[in-house]
């Protein structure tokens, strides 16, 4: 083939920002531009190509002979091997000589030529060269370097020995592994050269921002930082900072700057004055973060190039997810650094709080939705607000308690008791397993898959302060063995704390919310065992700390006066930060719940309330009497006087003195009222053929009450 070519036309000159490297040079260095020219030249018809300056002539193809093909193949193999050898040598040399520092030094020189601070950049170059020497010495002493040198020396010695002892002909097979290694390296190098290089505009924009960040006039340059440090008295007027590397943008467009403070000044001093430092730079605190570097005097400075959370919240990925697994955590939102935040609630549970109307329920939907879309997670709902926020969950929930009336509160207390029993049952089952199957005595995905009775359970409690508020006013009654409301709250808090503290290891998750959970409305003993907390806007740091934990505001995490819907403070065991949760609208949540029901129907895991299951055992007065006998140990008979306190504990809204319309201290009147109400309800609820009444079993009338066999017969239960 023959091609007529003309010299390429003069390359267009594009004015680049000062200090920005011309990436087209790199294209020529890697052979991409010549490869492009060769491709154009091999086309069928020749027309002028203005981008390469190539005139393409008609192609005359000639079939190569077999010998020519063999020679060409051998030549290509030899060329590839030679390229691989050169590539290996270059990479080894570049690593051992810490070549990555050379690029940074060249960039510093470019900045100097572009008009940067000469003294500052000269100091940077000196520092980079010193660091390069340190890295070189360290790499020369690495075991891999020593082993590689010893292997190469031994291999060369073996080749010499083979040639001396036998003949040069035997050296050729011994060289095959080395040739193969060089050939593979050559193929990789050629593949790298052919890989397209994408140069998006954002790279140039970020490079421009980096260059500007090092200049004197940029608001975040080293000169400006030094002036700000002097303004807030962290350093004196005759002290300055020493840059570490160059300012660099991260993948989100934020700026990272590292520098070393003068001798005797530590980074913690600057951290303690971060608010003043932000003001001196003309930034709100939300756009600045001060961190300690690898040494006490080194500072890592993060600066947001845009105001955090200035855009709308992202739509949650759960909206479009076909299904989810609680083992994968909750995709929650983004931090002010635009980093994704995923919560692992399976081991921590969660408390939501803050002022009404600032997005607390919206954030809570994220945790709920992750469980809704997992057909192997059982949901338990306790909505004491009784509004429309969670009505979609009722079609999925195994248990649904709605409202804060006495019956709902008592049902919740019983549910907590049942969950504690469930927790004990699960731990007993885990203990009985072989040790290889129960690492750390925790539930595992394998356990949950193999046993449906071990699937994770999520208890959602909305406005938990309503439970404690409903219990507190209840009076004590010693005659009926009923503790005071305060004592009932203490007992419930103790049970909830035990459930949260231990239950998370066996798959029991609790997420709760409250308006302003102070020491009375939501006791500290309950809040302290919840490890993950989220708060929307609060009026002050005190209110924020009641949700996020004591001392959170002093550690720099507070929801006080956030004043924005959809923004909140998140506190985890590892620390806290301000976040913007993803968005799930009420309409989207309804669709998620519909999807969750279909998933459970397909997996045959729809149970309890959502499946229309009826409560076990008889309802009404017969059920209450049987529960009372069960609480007493199922004796064959119980007097009406002894039944009264048992019934008051089972259904206080019906059988407590105040519910009966008598004074709590008038025990005789209370006993009489219990007897009269029992007789009335038995007459109304029990069929005529099975009607029973209280009986007297002593002649003097001292024993009058009910027999267990009579109640079981009326309920259609065979005596045990």
pLDDT-based confidence at residue 615 (cuts at 50, 70, 90):
low
**Residue-wise DSSP of 501-547:** HHHGGGTEEEEEEESS--TTTS-HHHHTT--EEEE--BSSHHHHHHH
Cα-Cα-Cα-Cα dihedral sign, residues 135, 137, 143, 149: positive
C-beta separation of 566 from 359 below 8 A: yes
The model's pTM is 0.60
What string of DSSP letters covers 362-404?
Answer: HHHHHHHHHHHT-TTSEEEEEESS-SSTTGGGGGT-SEEEES-
Are residues 535 and 551 located together in one domain of the fold?
yes
Q: How far apart are CA 571 and CA 560, in angstroms?
A: 14
In sequence order, the 6+-apart residues with CB closer than 8 A to the CB of 416 are: 492, 495, 496, 499
Flag whether pLDDT at 145 surpasses 80.
no
Which band of pLDDT confidence, cut at 50, 70 and 90, is reported for residue 319? Answer: very high
Task: Based on the fold, state whether residues 592 and 683 are members of the same structural domain.
Answer: no
> Which of 585, 611, 637 represents a domain boundary (last residue)?
611
Among left, alpha and beta (phi > 0; psi -120 to 50; other), residue 616 is beta
Residues 391 and 510 in one domain: yes
- Asked whether residue 719 is domain-assigned, the answer is no
> Is 605 in the same domain as 624?
no
In a domain, 118, yes or no: yes
Q: How many domains does the chain have?
A: 5
**Best-predicted range by mean pLDDT among 147-161, 220-234, 313-327, 648-662?**
313-327
Sign (positive/negative) of CA torsion 131, 134, 139, 140? positive
Average pLDDT over the chain reads 78
**pLDDT above 70: residue 72:** no
Strands (E), 200-343: 242-243, 248-249, 255-260, 288-292, 298-303, 330-335, 340-343
Q: Is residue 309 part of a domain?
A: no
In this structure, the answer to whether residues 180 and 213 fall within a common structural domain is no
Work out the number of other CB atoms within 10 angstroms of the CB of residue 632: 13
Give the model's pLDDT for residue 167: 66
Which pLDDT does position 124 carry in this prediction? 66
Same domain, 533 and 660: no
Find, among 19, 434, 369, 409, the residue nearest to 210 by Cα. 19
Do 178 and 33 share a domain, yes or no? no
Span 56-78, average pLDDT: 54
Give the H/E segment covering residue 611. Answer: none
Q: Is the same domain home to 348 and 486?
A: yes
List, in order, residues 6 or more apart from 605 with CB less than 8 Å away. 375, 376, 378, 452, 455
Task: Inform me whether the pLDDT recorded for 399 exceeds 80.
Answer: yes
Q: Provide the pairing of β-strand 255-260 with 248-249.
A: antiparallel
Residue 614 CA, chain-centre distance (Å), reads 38
Instruction: Indicate whether 312 belongs to any domain.
Output: no
Q: Helices marked H in 97-168 — which ranges?
A: 100-113, 118-140, 143-165
In a domain, 21, yes or no: yes
Q: Is residue 308 a part of any domain in this protein?
A: no
Domain that includes residue 646, residue range? 620-714
Query: Does position 19 have pLDDT exceeding 90, yes or no?
Result: no
Asked if residue 5 has pLDDT above 50, the reply is no
- Choice between 179 and 268, residue whose per-residue pLDDT is larger: 268
Q: Tens digits of per-residue pLDDT, 457-494?
A: 999 999 999 999 888 888 876 655 668 888 989 999 99
Instruction: Report the distance separating Cα 498 and Cα 349, nearest Å.
Output: 13
Provide the pLDDT for residue 73. 66
Using DSSP's 3-state secondary structure scheme, residue 142 falls into coil
pLDDT: is 62 or 434 the higher one?
434
| The last residue of a domain, from among 244, 275, 303 | 303
Q: Average pLDDT in the 541-570 region?
A: 89
End-to-end CA separation in angstroms for the chain: 103
Residues 473, 542: one domain? Answer: yes
Q: At residue 153, does pLDDT exceed 90?
A: no
DSSP state, 560? Answer: B
Q: Are residues 346 and 424 in the same domain?
A: yes
335 and 401 housed in the same domain: yes
User: How many CB atoms sit inside 10 A of residue 558's CB?
Assistant: 23
Q: Which helix (H) or strand (E) holds 637?
A: strand 637-639
Residues 167 and 74 in one domain: yes
* Structure-model confidence comparison of residues 550 and 196, the more confident one: 550
Q: Which of 265-279, 418-432, 701-715 has the lowest mean pLDDT?
A: 701-715
pLDDT single digits (tens) 498-552:
999 999 899 999 999 987 665 566 788 888 899 899 999 998 898 898 899 888 8
Nearest Cα to Cα of residue 369 among 590, 557, 581: 590
Give me the pLDDT at residue 598, please.
Answer: 96
| DSSP, res 291 | E
**What is the CATH number for 577?**
3.40.50.300
545 domain residue, yes or no: yes
* Separation between Cα atoms, residue 87 and residue 182, nearest integer Å: 8
584 has pLDDT over 90? yes
Which has more pLDDT, 414 or 173? 414
pLDDT for 633 beyond 70: yes
Look at residue 517 and tell me if it is in a domain.
Answer: yes
Instruction: Give residue 644's pLDDT.
Output: 83
Domain termination site, one of 560, 592, 611: 611
């Amino acid at each position: 083939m023959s091609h007529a070519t003309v010299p390429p036309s003069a390359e267009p000159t594009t004015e680049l920002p000062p200090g920005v490297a011309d990436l087209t040079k790199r294209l020529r260095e890697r052979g991409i531009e010549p490869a492009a020219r060769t491709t154009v030249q091999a086309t069928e018809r020749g027309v002028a190509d203005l981008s390469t300056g190539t005139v393409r002539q008609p192609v005359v193809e000639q079939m190569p002979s077999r010998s020519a093909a063999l020679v060409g193949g051998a030549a290509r193999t030899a060329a590839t091997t030679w390229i691989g050898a050169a590539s290996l040598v270059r990479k080894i040399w570049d690593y051992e000589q810490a070549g990555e520092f050379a690029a940074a030094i060249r960039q510093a020189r470019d900045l100097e030529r572009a008009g940067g601070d000469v003294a500052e950049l000269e100091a940077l170059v000196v520092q980079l060269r010193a660091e390069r020497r340190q890295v070189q010495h360290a790499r020369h002493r690495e075991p891999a370097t020593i082993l590689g040198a010893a292997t190469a020396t031994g291999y060369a010695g073996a080749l010499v020995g083979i040639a001396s002892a036998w003949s040069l002909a035997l050296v050729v097979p011994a060289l095959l592994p080395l040739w193969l290694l060089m050939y593979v390296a050559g193929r990789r190098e050629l593949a790298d050269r052919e890989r397209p290089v994408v140069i998006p505009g954002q790279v140039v924009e970020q490079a421009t921002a980096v260059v500007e960040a090092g200049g004197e006039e940029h608001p975040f340059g080293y000169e400006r930082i030094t002036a700000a440090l002097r303004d807030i008295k962290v350093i004196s007027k005759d002290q300055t900072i020493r840059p570490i590397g160059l300012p660099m943008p991260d993948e989100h467009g934020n700026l990272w700057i590292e520098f070393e403070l003068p001798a005797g000044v530590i980074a913690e001093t600057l951290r303690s004055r971060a608010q003043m430092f932000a003001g001196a730079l003309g930034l709100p605190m939300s756009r600045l973060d001060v961190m300690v570097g690898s040494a006490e005097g080194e500072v890592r400075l993060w600066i947001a190039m845009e105001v955090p959370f200035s855009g709308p919240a992202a739509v949650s990925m759960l909206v479009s997810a076909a299904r989810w697994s609680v083992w994968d955590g909750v995709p929650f939102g983004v931090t002010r650094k635009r980093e994704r935040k995923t919560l692992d609630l399976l081991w921590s549970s969660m408390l939501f709080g803050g002022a009404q109307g600032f997005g607390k329920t919206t954030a809570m939907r994220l945790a709920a939705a992750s469980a809704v879309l997992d057909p192997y997670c059982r949901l338990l709902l306790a909505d004491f607000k009784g509004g429309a926020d969670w009505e979609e969950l009722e079609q999925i929930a195994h248990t649904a308690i709605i409202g804060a009336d006495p019956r709902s509160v008592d049902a919740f207390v019983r549910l907590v008791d049942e969950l504690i029993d469930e927790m004990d049952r699960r731990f007993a089952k885990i203990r009985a397993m072989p040790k290889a199957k129960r690492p750390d005595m925790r539930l595992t995905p394998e356990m949950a898959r193999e046993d449906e009775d071990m699937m994770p359970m999520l208890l959602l409690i909305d406005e938990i302060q309503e439970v404690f508020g409903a219990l507190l006013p209840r009076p004590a009654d010693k005659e009926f063995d009923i503790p005071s409301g305060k004592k009932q709250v203490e007992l419930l808090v103790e049970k909830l704390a035990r459930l949260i503290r231990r239950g998370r290891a066996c798959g029991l998750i609790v997420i709760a919310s409250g308006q302003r959970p102070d020491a009375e409305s939501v006791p500290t003993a309950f809040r302290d065992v919840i490890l993950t907390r989220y708060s929307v806007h609060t009026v002050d740091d005190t209110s924020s700390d009641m949700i996020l934990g004591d001392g959170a505001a002093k550690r720099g995490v507070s929801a006080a006066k956030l004043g924005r819907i959809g923004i909140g403070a998140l506190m985890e065991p590892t620390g806290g930060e301000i976040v913007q949760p993803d968005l799930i609208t009420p309409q989207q949540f309804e669709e998620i719940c519909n999807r969750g029901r279909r998933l459970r129907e397909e997996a045959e895991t729809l149970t309890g309330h959502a499946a229309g299951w009826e409560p076990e055992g008889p309802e009404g007065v017969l059920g209450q009497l049987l529960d009372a006998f069960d609480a007493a140990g199922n004796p064959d008979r119980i007097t009406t006087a002894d039944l009264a306190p048992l019934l008051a504990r089972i259904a206080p809204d019906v059988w407590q003195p105040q519910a009966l319309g008598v004074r709590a201290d008038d025990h005789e009147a209370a006993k009489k009222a219990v007897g009269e109400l029992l007789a009335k309800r038995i007459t109304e609820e029990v069929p005529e053929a099975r009607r029973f009444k209280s009986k007297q079993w002593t002649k003097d009338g001292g024993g009058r009450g009910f027999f267990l066999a009579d109640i079981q017969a009326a309920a259609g239960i065979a005596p045990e």
